[in-house]
Amino acid sequence: MPALTLYHATRSRSAIALWMLEEVGAPYDIKLLKLSEGDNLKPDYLAINPMGKVPALKHGDAVVTEAAAICTYLADEFPANKLNVPVGTPRRGVYLKWLFFGPSVIEPAMMDRAFPRKESPRASTVGWRDFDTVLDIVAKALMRGPYLMGEQFTAADVVIGSGLRFGMMFKLIPERKEFAEYVARLGARPAAKRAEAKDKELSAA
Ligand SMILES: N[C@@H](CCC(=O)N[C@@H](CS)C(=O)NCC(=O)O)C(=O)O
């Protein structure tokens, strides 16, 4: 099996990929980068991710960057774990919607709220419409539960759950009951606990 290597910085968005790797359960190595020392902007890492951002994943010769893309990739590469909705399945459309909704709708809506512009963009001109509508849509999707895709836990939960957790932790997203319960449910997963413990351990080292 090709080797898996995660380029990781502690207490960062690469925790999303770390959690996903723990869900997959395949062996992997970690190359630790210190953002405070600018490791992510050094030439050897820029050759892996020219954006100078973590996470990045190497799988044999394949390099994947962007946390949501890494989760999608791992779910498809390790189908035995049933963390994806396979090609040819009608539910895959909704699954892909949630994988894209995290980085292209929730995150920009949240950051727009956190760092307001001088003039608010018209809701019809930005791809994420507006913060309140976005949160209502996510909350409604979670009412059925326990996961975004119903009974099946998928890579989409790793992406959306991580975003909600981060947002609530930094008070960028309100602690709505649906979000708090969902994030607690996800946090109780053994793989999520292992990833959190590993991140803490690496951070302390
Ligand atoms: N769109 C990227 C964002 C990744 C990102 O912003 N990572 C931050 C850490 S949370 C980073 O690498 N920051 C270092 C820097 O920008 O210098 C993804 O989802 O993977």
pLDDT in tens, 141-172: 999 989 999 999 999 999 999 999 999 999 99
Q: Whose CA is nearest to atom 13 of ligand 1?
A: 53
Please tell me the pTM assigned to this model: 0.97
CA distance 11 to 135: 24
- Cα distances (angstroms) measured from residue 67 to each of 7, 23, 70, 123, 124: 11, 14, 5, 26, 27
Helix (H) or strand (E) holding 46: helix 43-46
Q: Ligand 1 centroid vs 57 CA: distance in angstroms?
A: 13
**Ligand 1 close to Cβ of residue 10 (< 6 A):** no
* Residue keyed to tokens 């999303």: 16
pLDDT tens figures, 109-150? 999 999 999 998 898 999 999 999 999 999 999 999 899 999
**Ligand 1 close to Cβ of residue 67 (< 6 A):** yes
Residue 106 CA from chain centroid, whole number: 11
> CA-based angle 171:172:176, to the nearest 5?
75
- Ligand 1 closest atom vs CA 53: 12
